[in-house]
A = this chain, B = another copy of it.
């Protein structure tokens, strides 16, 4: 056969789907022959987002979405190559819903804004945490977001690489907080009790079971947590504390470099 007549197109087919709204995507020849499509990709993606918001990502099944439009399940496959691609479309589409506010002057406020925006979004759409993606950043809305995030860390005195890594730390941290909130909510749903109710219900068992293990620090910390808020953890406070420390560290880093004479580059 022929070695390489021309490349068999290794390119990812869902890229064009992601960018379908941006001009610059060459208009495909308008010769759609068969029946007109009854819905649009956007409607399908929005329906998926609706379901995910309301019932979680596991409820986003091809059958459930199709049913919303009175379609057969297999019909969706003429809009979207498969479920995973649909989830990526959902992630990018929901990312496009948040408007990206003007960035404040104060560096600390800029970084806080980046983290808080991500956190609020993940609180509103926790299923985003479960959409693990091959190349997550490559949709149009995610690209816009990333550019905006870079703007927030631009001009602080970070190197290009450090800018990216700083954004990653902030977003990752916001995601972790959102994840712990999600798990807490899910635990209450599954067990049918609040966190403190669960501790009460399992108090005796825990004591018995841990009888000859000793956790002095964990006990002290757990007691302090239980007294301060009514639960083992309080994600809202974790957000404030951790975010403050991370930003402290970043700002100290750039300041040290600017004042200090000849520091090594990382």
Residues in chain A within 8 A of chain B (CB atoms): 10-12, 15-16, 18-19, 22-26, 132-136, 138, 140, 143-144, 146-147, 150-151, 154, 159-166, 168-169, 172-173, 175-176, 179-180, 183, 186-187, 190-191, 193, 198, 201-202, 204-206, 208-213, 215-218, 220-221, 223-225, 228, 233, 237-238, 240-242, 244-250, 252-253, 266
Instruction: Give complex CA distance A76, B140 in Å.
Output: 47
Are B224's CB and A161's CB within 8 A? yes
Contacts of A147 in B (CB 8 A): 215-218
Instruction: Give complex CA distance A154, B216 in Å.
Output: 11
Instruction: Give complex CA distance A209, B23 in Å.
Output: 8
Are B208's CB and A26's CB within 8 A? yes
CB pairs A–B below 8 angstroms (30 shown): A11-B204, A11-B205, A15-B206, A19-B209, A23-B211, A23-B212, A24-B210, A26-B208, A132-B186, A134-B183, A140-B210, A143-B210, A144-B213, A150-B217, A161-B224, A165-B237, A165-B238, A165-B241, A165-B242, A169-B173, A169-B245, A172-B172, A172-B176, A172-B242, A241-B266, A244-B249, A244-B266, A245-B246, A247-B249, A248-B252
Instruction: Give complex CA distance A175, B175 in Å.
Output: 11
Extra contacts, 10 of them, besides A11-B205, A248-B253 (Cβ < 8 A), are A12-B191, A23-B212, A134-B187, A146-B218, A165-B237, A165-B242, A168-B180, A169-B242, A245-B249, A247-B249
**Nearest Cβ distance between residue A150 and chain B, in whole angstroms?**
4
